[in-house]
């Protein structure tokens, strides 16, 4: 989301400055360099890039499902489009532990591709202006309206404000909007994977050559490892202190604020939160799908096995606590607050552990 982009930019600047100052001895060779190479290569190529490949594939499937719905608007096709949206949402949420690189590149949009795909809240007024304009609704029109595009705009149109929209209630203009928004979303997921792929933008190459002379992004291997760590710290913080906190207690502590809940139209919020922490887990373990590679865990276990065990346990506890919330998040912030508060506490404990124990270990 937009509010994360600037902080990540400053983090990247800080990483570069710290590592330039910490590596004045050009003859020094870190004894863990080979391990770092394996970890960095696996996380970048087999976690980050593979997650984005899944995202792009699912976005294509969502676009197909919405085109089918637009051609034949019935309940079966609406249900299929909703499921395709949730299927696409999953890899996106599992990518939020690495919101750096092309996804945060200002040259690719207003603040990067993250707000282009995941702007919240939906600007209903901007959406209605497009719907009432009488002009053809195309992907280019959607792209020119940054507050009325992306996952949550599609979600709003598919489910409706109260989550009860039927196929019969979808207007011809809304179906046209859905088609254009799905095309725009896939355009952005394609741009994202292109930006990372070795055969295109090759951002992955900055990780694969971390520490090599001339690498302007990651002048040392530790700089690349620190990027991974800052990414997972950022999303753990956001889940606990924005995504859960703001609906639970209000953005300014004013009380329950259901309007602050992301993915509330589809009641997908709890899945979003759990997948955000799975993003942390994937980067930390170096795993994704059938891939079982090296991750930050291997670096930590070699130096502080007790901390490694504690981090893995806290990640698992956080996911379990989120999944233990018994009803929709919308209902839980009113009627199951202890379960929500427990999940928030577990994620905050994870955030603190990553920030105060993992990051210093990687820095040293």
CA gyration radius for the chain? 21
- Name the H helices within 72-208: 75-93, 113-118, 124-131, 139-143, 151-159, 172-196, 204-208
Say if residue 31's pLDDT is above 60: yes
Q: How many CB atoms lie within 10 A of CB 107?
A: 7
296: CB partners within 8 A, 6+ apart? 39, 43, 225, 228, 229, 283, 284, 285, 286, 358, 362
Gap between the Cα atoms of 344 and 296, Å rounded: 24
pLDDT value at position 30? 81
Q: Read off the pLDDT of residues 155-207 as tens digits, 9 standing for 90 and up.
A: 999 999 999 999 999 999 999 999 999 999 999 999 999 999 999 999 999 99
Residue 68, token pair as written in the block? 């089918």
Q: How many CB atoms lie within 10 A of CB 25?
A: 7
Say if residue 66's pLDDT is above 80: yes
Residue 13, token pair as written in the block? 């600047």
pLDDT band at 9 (very low <50, low <70, confident <90, very high): very low
pLDDT value at position 7? 44
Kindly list the domain boundaries of the chain, sorted by start residue: 33-206, 217-363
Q: Read off the pLDDT of residues 203-225 as tens digits, 9 standing for 90 and up.
A: 999 999 999 999 999 999 999 99
Select from 224, 217, 214, 226 the least CA-distant residue to 37: 224
Gap between the Cα atoms of 357 and 211, Å rounded: 24
Gap between the Cα atoms of 273 and 336, Å rounded: 16
Gap between the Cα atoms of 231 and 215, Å rounded: 20
Specify the fold of 217-363.
Answer: A middle domain of Talin 1 (1.20.1420)
Q: How far is CA 182 from CA 87, 172, 251, 300, in A?
A: 14, 15, 30, 41
Q: How far is CA 257 from CA 25, 206, 222, 253, in A?
A: 53, 41, 41, 9
Q: How far is CA 343 from CA 17, 127, 144, 177, in A?
A: 36, 34, 38, 37
pLDDT value at position 13? 45
CATH number for the domain whose boundaries are 33-206? 1.20.1420.20
For the chain, percent of residues with pLDDT exceeding 90 = 88
Mean pLDDT of the chain: 93
- Name the H helices within 197-244: 204-208, 221-238
Q: Whole-prediction pTM value?
A: 0.91
Q: How far is CA 244 from CA 111, 233, 295, 348, in A?
A: 24, 16, 27, 11
Gap between the Cα atoms of 157 and 81, Å rounded: 11
């Amino acid at each position: 989301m937009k509010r994360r982009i600037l902080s990540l930019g400053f983090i990247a600047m800080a990483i570069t400055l710290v590592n330039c100052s910490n590596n004045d001895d050009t003859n020094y060779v870190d004894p863990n360099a080979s391990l770092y190479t394996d970890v960095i290569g696996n996380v970048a190529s087999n976690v980050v890039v593979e997650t984005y490949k899944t995202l792009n594939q699912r976005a294509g499937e969502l676009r197909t499902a919405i085109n089918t719905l637009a051609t034949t608007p019935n309940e079966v096709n609406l249900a299929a489009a909703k499921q395709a949206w949730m299927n696409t949402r999953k890899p996106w949420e599992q990518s939020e532990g690495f919101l750096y690189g092309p996804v945060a590149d200002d040259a690719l949009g207003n603040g990067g591709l993250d707000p282009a795909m995941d702007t919240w809240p939906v600007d209903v007024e901007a959406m209605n202006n497009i719907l009432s304009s009488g002009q053809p609704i195309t992907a280019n029109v959607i792209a020119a309206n940054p507050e009325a595009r992306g996952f949550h705009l599609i979600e709003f149109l598919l489910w409706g404000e109260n989550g009860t929209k039927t196929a019969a209630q979808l207007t011809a203009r809304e179906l046209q909007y859905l088609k254009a928004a799905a095309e725009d979303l896939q355009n952005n997921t394609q741009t994202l994977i292109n930006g990372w792929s070795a055969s295109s933008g090759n951002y992955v190459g900055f990780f694969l050559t971390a520490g090599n002379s001339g690498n302007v992004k990651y002048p040392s291997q530790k700089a690349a490892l620190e990027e991974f760590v800052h990414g997972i710290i950022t999303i753990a913080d956001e889940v606990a202190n924005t995504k859960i906190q703001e609906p639970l207690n209000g953005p300014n502590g004013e009380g329950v604020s259901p309007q602050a809940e992301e993915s509330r139209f589809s009641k997908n919020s709890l899945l979003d939160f759990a997948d955000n922490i799975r993003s942390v887990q994937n980067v930390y373990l170096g795993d994704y799908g059938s891939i079982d590679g090296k991750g930050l865990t291997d670096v930590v276990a070699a130096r502080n096995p007790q901390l490694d065990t504690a981090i893995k346990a806290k990640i698992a506890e956080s996911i379990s606590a989120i999944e233990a919330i018994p009803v929709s998040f919308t209902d839980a912030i009113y009627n199951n607050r202890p379960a929500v508060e427990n999940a928030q506490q577990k994620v905050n404990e994870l955030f603190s552990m990553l920030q105060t124990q993992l990051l210093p270990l990687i820095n040293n």
